[in-house]
Amino acid sequence: MQKQKDKKILRKQSMKKKFLTVLLSVLLVSGFTNRSSRENPEEIISVRVDSVLSLMTLEEKIGQLNQLSYGSGWGPSIKVQVPDQYKKMIREGKIGSFLNATGAELTYELQKIAVTESRLKIPLLFGLDVIHGFRTTFPVPLAEASSWEPELVERSSKYQALEASSAGIHWTFAPMVDIARDPRWGRIVEGSGEDTYLGLTMAAARVRGFQGNLSDDNIIACAKHFAAYGGAEGGRDYNTVDIPERTLRDVYLPPFKSALDAGAETFMASFNEIDGVPSSGNRLLLTEILRNEWGFKGFVVSDWNSIGEMINHGFASDLKDAASISINAGLDMDMESRSFIANLAELVKEKKVSEETIDLSVKRILRIKFKFGLFDKPFKYCNKERETKNIMSQEVQNAALEVAKRSIVLLKNSNSLLPLKKDLSKIAVIGPLADSKQDPLGPWAAVGNPNDVVTIVEGIKKLVTPKTEVLFSKGCDIEDTSTDNFDDAVKTATESDVVILCIGERENMTGEANNRSTLDLPGVQQKLAEEIYKTGKPVVVILMNGRPLSIEWIDRNMSAIVEAWFLGIKSGDAIAEVLFGDYNPSGKLPVSFPRTVGQIPIYYNHKNTGRPGNERNRFTSKYLDLPLTPLYPFGFGLSYTNFEYSDLKLSSPEISDEQELAVSVNIKNTGNFDGEEVVQLYVQDLVGSVTRPVKELKRFKKIFLKKDEEQEVSFKISEKDLRFTGHEMTSISESGEFKVYVGTNSADVMESRFKLVKTISSSLK
Ligand code: BGC
Nearest CA, atom 7, ligand 1: 304
Atom number in ligand 1 closest to CA 100: 12
Q: pLDDT tens digit string along 158-182? A: 999 999 999 999 999 999 999 999 9
pTM for this predicted structure? 0.95
Q: Is 182 helix (H, G, I), strand (E, B) or coil?
A: coil
User: What mean pLDDT do residues 338-350 have?
Assistant: 98
For residue 664, the CA-to-ligand 1 centroid distance in Å is 43
Question: Nearest-CA neighbor of 744 among 661, 647, 639, 605?
Answer: 639
Pocket test for ligand 1, best of 69, 131, 173, 447 (most atoms within 8 A of CB): 173
Three-state DSSP class for residue 646: strand
Q: Give the closest residue to 313 by CA, choosing from 353, 280, 269, 289.
A: 280
Examine the fold and report which residue of 572, 599, 626 is the final residue of a domain before the chain moves on: 599
Within 6 A (CB) of ligand 1 lie: 74, 99, 129, 173, 224, 303-304, 512
What pLDDT digit, counting tens, does each position of 668-722 carry? 999 999 999 999 999 999 999 999 999 999 999 999 999 999 999 999 999 999 9
Question: Among 194, 244, 241, which residue's Cα sits nearest to residue 729?
Answer: 244
* Smallest CA separation from ligand 1 atom 6, residue: 304
The band of 258, judged by pLDDT with boundaries at 50, 70 and 90, is very high
**Residue 68 forms part of a structural domain:** yes
Q: How many residues does the chain have?
A: 765
Tell me how far apart the alpha carbons of residues 463 and 454 are, in angstroms, rounded to a whole number: 13
Domain assignment of residue 227, yes or no? no
According to DSSP, residue 77 is labeled: B
Residues 577 and 649 in one domain: no
Mean pLDDT of 397-402: 98
Q: Is residue 606 scored above 70 in pLDDT?
A: yes
659 and 565 together in one domain: no
Looking at ligand 1, which residue's alpha carbon is closest to its atom 8?
303
d(CA 732, CA 617): 36
- pLDDT confidence band for 761 (50 / 70 / 90): low
- Burial tier of 149 (Cβ tally within 10 Å: 0-12, 13-18, 19+): buried
Question: Which residues in 451-535 belong to E strands, given as ranges?
Answer: 469-473, 498-504
Calculate how far, in angstroms, residue 198's C-alpha sits from the geometric centre of ligand 1: 23
Same domain, 371 and 426: no
Percentage of the chain beyond pLDDT 70 is: 94
Q: Which residues contact 618 (CB under 8 A, 6 or more apart)?
A: none
Exactly one of 129, 237, 250, 303 is catalytic; which is it? 303
Band (16; pLDDT cuts 50, 70, 90):
very low
pLDDT attached to residue 126: 98
| CB-CB contact of 441 with 483 (8 Å) | no
- State residue 12's pLDDT score: 46
Per-residue model confidence as pLDDT tens digits over 720-751: 999 999 999 999 999 999 999 999 999 999 99
pLDDT at 366: 98
* 173 Cα–ligand 1 center, Å: 7
303 is annotated as an active-site residue:
yes
| Dihedral over alpha carbons 614, 620, 626, 629 (to 10 degrees) | -50
CA-CA distance, 119 to 470, in Å (whole number)? Answer: 65
Please state the atom number of ligand 1 nearest to the C-alpha of residue 225. 9
Cα of 451 vs centre of ligand 1, distance in Å, is 25
**Of 149, 136, 194, which is closest to residue 547 (Cα–Cα)?**
194
Q: Which atom of ligand 1 is nearest to the CA of 173?
A: 10
* 510 in a structural domain: yes
pLDDT for residue 26 is more than 80? no
589's CB contacts (< 8 A; 6+ apart) are 146, 193, 409, 548, 563, 632, 633, 634, 635, 636, 637, 745
Q: Check whether residue 658 and residue 705 sit in a common domain.
A: yes
Residue 13 CB partners (closer than 8 Å, separation 6+): none
Atom of ligand 1 nearest to the CA of 270: 8
- Name the residue with the closest Cα to ligand 1, atom 10: 173
Sign of CA dihedral 725, 731, 733, 739: positive
pLDDT score recorded for residue 31: 40
Same domain (yes/no): 707, 662: yes
Q: What's the pLDDT tens digit per position in 473-525?
A: 999 999 999 999 999 999 999 999 999 999 999 999 999 999 999 999 999 99
Distance 303 CA to ligand 1 centre (A): 6
Residues with Cβ within 8 Å of residue 191, at least 6 apart in sequence: 141, 142, 145, 176, 177, 178, 179, 180, 199, 230
CA distance 455 to 461: 10
* Orientation of helix 254-261 relative to helix 196-211, angle to 10°: 30
Does 720 lie in the same domain as 588? no
How does DSSP assign 294-326, residue by residue?
A: T---SEEE--TTTTTTHHHHTS-SSHHHHHHHH
Q: Are 363 and 416 part of one and the same domain? A: no
Flag the least confident range among 44-48, 97-101, 687-691, 758-762.
758-762
The pLDDT of residue 7 is: 46
Distance CA 592, CA 603 (A): 6
Count: domains in the chain:
3
Mean pLDDT of 391-419: 98
For a mutational test of ligand 1's pocket, the pick from 100, 102, 129, i.e. the residue with the most ligand atoms closer than 8 A to its C-beta, is 129
CATH number at residue 710: 2.60.40.10
For the beta sheet containing 469-473, the strands, ordered from the edge strand earlier in sequence to the opposite edge, are 409-413, 560-563, 539-544, 498-504, 426-430, 469-473
**Atom 2 (ligand 1): residue with closest C-alpha?**
303
Question: Torsion-angle region of residue 675: left (phi > 0), alpha (psi -120 to 50) or beta?
Answer: beta
| CA 232 to ligand 1 center in whole angstroms | 16
For residue 37, the model assigns a pLDDT of: 52
The answer to whether position 748 is within a domain reads yes
Residue 268 lies in a domain: no
Residues 6+ apart with CB under 8 A from 484: none
- For residue range 280-315, what is the model confidence (pLDDT) as tens digits? 999 999 999 999 999 999 999 999 999 999 999 999
Give the distance (Å) from ligand 1 centre to CA of residue 100. Answer: 11
- Supply the pLDDT for residue 624: 96
Ligand 1 atom nearest 224 alpha carbon: 9
**Does one domain contain both 555 and 649?**
no
Position 247, amino acid: T
| Band of residue 80 on the pLDDT scale cut at 50, 70, 90 | confident
Structural domain boundaries enclosing 37: 1-101+115-124+355-376
- The pLDDT of residue 78: 85
Ligand 1 site-directed mutation target among 70, 222, 225, 303, most atoms within 8 Å of CB: 303
Going from the Cα of 224 to the center of ligand 1, the distance in angstroms, rounded, reads: 9
> Hey, which of 229, 304, 447 would you mutate to test ligand 1's pocket, going by the most ligand atoms within 8 Å of its Cβ?
304
- Name the closest-CA residue to atom 4, ligand 1: 304
| 24 and 119 share one domain | yes
Q: pLDDT by residue (tens digit) across 37-60?
A: 557 999 999 999 999 999 999 999
How many angstroms is it from 175 CA to the middle of ligand 1?
Answer: 12
457 and 567 together in one domain: yes
Phi and psi at 336, nearest 5°, equal 70, 0
Percent share of the chain, pLDDT over 90: 92
How many C-beta atoms lie closer than 10 Å to residue 430's C-beta?
Answer: 30
Half-sphere exposure in the Cβ direction for 696 (13 Å, CA) = 19
84 in the same domain as 36: yes
- Average pLDDT score, the chain: 95
What pLDDT is attached to residue 75?
81
Q: Is residue 158 part of a domain?
A: no
Q: Helix-strand-coil percent breakdown of the chain, rounded to 5?
A: 35, 20, 45
Q: Return d(Cα 744, Cα 643) in angstroms, integer.
A: 8
Nearest CA to ligand 1 atom 11: 304
If asked whether residues 651 and 717 sit together in one domain, one would say yes
Specify if 561 maps to a domain: yes
Residue 266 falls inside a structural domain: no
The ligand 1 atom nearest the CA atom of 176: 9
Cα 524 to chain centroid, rounded: 32
338 Cβ partners below 8 Å, 6+ apart? 66, 68, 319
